[in-house]
Amino acid sequence: MTDTYTQFVNSAFGKQVAGRLGMPRPAALRRYVPGAALIDGPVLVGGHGGGPLAKRITALLGHAGVTVVDELPAGGTVSGVVVDLSAARTPADLETLRALVGPALKVLAPSGRVIVVGASPDEAADDVPLAAVRRSLEGIVRSVAKELRKGATANLVLVRRGGEDNIDATIRFFLSGRSAYVDGQGVEVGPIEAGAAVDAADWDRPLAGKVAVVTGAARGIGASIADVLARDGATIVCVDIPAAGEALAKVANRNGGSTLQLDVTAPDAGARIVEHARTRHGQLDIVVHNAGITRDKLLANTDADRWKSVVDVNLMSVLRMNETILAPGALADGGHVVCVSSMSGIAGNRGQSNYAASKAGLIGLVHALGASADLHHRGITVNAVAPGFIETEMTGKIPLATREMGRRVNSLAQGGLPVDVAETIAWFAQDANAGVTGQVVRVCGQSILGA
């Protein structure tokens, strides 16, 4: 459910009232529905220097049943624009982007998509103009995302050398309703081990045959992650503390999964997860570290217990569990680990130094494991989502004025839903996404906090 204000101004009566009074009208976002078209309406695809990746993108969109155009339809709209700047050599080449994307923004349909594809700036250190133009793309995307209206988003796909053939799952994610609340973000796609899959057998059930563990699955975002991973075909192991046993069983039952009552801070938590998944379901392919707590206080008033409990649950437990989960023979080769960080871990938040420490720590963990040659060799990816303001029981308890502020200060002028976080995690968990590792994607509607 979106917030009451957004629902009201999108009702027939509310639209009239909002229009007359000049009230802001956050759009109803296009969200993913299994079986629905990837995106309705034509998508304009172009690029600089022939757009070396535009050809691949045109083919994958055609395969997905999307109408691809190379110029704006006279008098019509487009639902998306994908522009390939991977061959840009100097900032002068950015004119290609302006000339293609600028006019398209005037006819972009509601919940439209702008995707800019570029090459990684990190791989241009010895060529200064090249490094400059590659980095420019981030500035453009972040600005365009702030200019878009009616639920449209803009995101950036940066391709590392050798990752050119691995972009399909990412392009599909950003075009689809799965990325409804991901805006102004950049993702790097890199090379994968030879033989790994970059195409899903069924894009509506990309996790079919996989076994996924979700911690903190009894409620909130964790319950939604379990629902979405199960919808995408995975068998789910729902983990939560014994006190949440009843709610946990409900989530597992509705998804045909199993439950594991477990405090993630237990020294043997990782071993019990691996053992449960392998004995009950025969394998372990995906682990989502979602369990988390807050114990907010200004640092000056934070005692050792508040400090320790948050760091233990949110960070230490993940480090400890990963030692077992990532040991050879536990998580399957080609498996995926996804951590749930937070915007607090990027921007910091008053009264949350313990929480921000733990969530920033997860980002450090993801960067380190994403760079691990051993995990790369085993085809294992490790990524994180960093949610912004998400409509949950937790945020429902925030005083109204602060809550309103939290949910409006982003480019989509609304809070996200647990399903938005879950969809991003499900995308990270796809085998076809094997080229994406060590990445942190904010699911925050391009919140201005920490932008």
Ligand X SMILES: NC(=O)c1ccc[n+]([C@@H]2O[C@H](COP(=O)([O-])OP(=O)(O)OC[C@H]3O[C@@H](n4cnc5c(N)ncnc54)[C@H](O)[C@@H]3O)[C@@H](O)[C@H]2O)c1
Give the catalytic positions in this structure. 355
State both tokens at 390: 């998400």
Termini Cα distance of the chain: 26
CB of 268 to ligand X, least distance (A): 13
| Among residues 83, 117, 207, 244, the one that binds ligand X under rule CB under 6 A | 244
Please report, for residues 180, 306, 393, 418, the alpha-carbon distance to residue 356 in angstroms, rounded to integers and kept in the order given: 25, 13, 20, 20
Compare residues 108 and 274 and give the one whose CB is closer to ligand X.
274
Strand 211-215 relative to strand 286-289, pairing: parallel
H runs (alpha helix) in 303-372: 304-311, 317-325, 344-347, 353-370
Distance CA 410, CA 98 (A): 24
Token duo for residue 407: 């949910």
User: CB of residue 241 vs ligand X: minimum separation in angstroms?
Assistant: 5
Distance CA 237, CA 429 (A): 15
CB atoms within 10 A of CB 448: 14
Instruction: Work out how close the CB of 208 gets to ligand X at its nearest, in angstroms, rounded to a whole number.
Output: 26
Q: Interface with ligand X includes 219 (CB under 6 A)?
A: yes
**Which CB sits closer to ligand X, 244 or 325?**
244
Contact 197, 433 (CB under 8 A): no
> Does the footprint of ligand X cover residue 370 (CB under 6 A)?
no
Does position 361 bind ligand X by CB under 6 A?
A: no
What is the nearest approach in angstroms of ligand X to the Cβ of residue 392?
Answer: 4
342 sits near ligand X (criterion: CB under 6 A): yes
Work out which of 340, 357, 384, 440 binds ligand X, going by CB under 6 A.
Answer: 340
**Which of positions 221-240 make contact with ligand X (CB under 6 A)?**
221-222, 240
Bridge partners (DSSP) of residue 207 are: none
Distance, in Å, from the CA atom of 187 to the CA atom of 141, rounded to the nearest integer, reads 12
Please give the Cα distance from 290 to 221 (Å, whole number): 8
Query: 385 forms bridges with which residues in the sheet?
Result: 340, 441
Tell me the backbone φ, ψ of residue 261, rounded to 5 degrees: -80, 120
Mask 297-326, x = binds ligand X (CB under 6 A)?
----------------x-------------
> Is 104 near ligand X (CB under 6 A)?
no
Interface with ligand X (CB under 6 A), residue from 126, 303, 305, 393: 393
Is 32 or 181 the residue whose CB approaches ligand X more closely?
181
Residue 216 in contact with ligand X, rule: CB under 6 A? yes
Count interface residues toward ligand X (CB under 6 A).
27
Q: Residue 389, interface with ligand X (CB under 6 A)?
A: yes
Least distance from C-beta 274 to ligand X, angstroms? 16
Using the structure block, give the residue that is written with the tokens 């980095």: 135
CB nearer ligand X, residue 166 or residue 354: 354
Tell me how far, at minimum, the Cβ of 72 lies from ligand X, in Å. 38
In DSSP terms, which residues pair with 337 in a beta bridge? 287, 382
Contact in structure between 101 and 83 (CB atoms under 8 Å) = yes
Q: Which of 292, 370, 435, 438 binds ligand X (CB under 6 A)?
A: 292
Nearer to ligand X, 264 or 434 (CB): 264
Cα 37 to Cα 34, 57, 106, 336: the distances in Å are 9, 16, 23, 27
Q: Which of 394, 398, 449, 451 binds ligand X (CB under 6 A)?
A: 394
77 binds ligand X (CB under 6 A): no
Residue (25 or 320) nearer to ligand X, CB: 320
The C-alpha atoms of residue 289 and residue 293 are separated, in whole angstroms, by 12
Does 188 engage in binding with ligand X (CB under 6 A)?
no
**Cβ-based nearer residue to ligand X, 303 or 393:** 393
Pairwise CA distance, residues 214 & 197, whole Å: 24
3 binds ligand X (CB under 6 A): no
CB of 218 to ligand X, least distance (A): 4
Take residue 51 and report the two structure tokens written for it: 């757009």
273 binds ligand X (CB under 6 A): no
Indicate the length of the chain as a whole number.
451
Q: Which residues bind ligand X (CB under 6 A)?
A: 215-216, 218-222, 240-241, 244, 263-265, 290-293, 313, 340, 342, 387, 389-390, 392-395
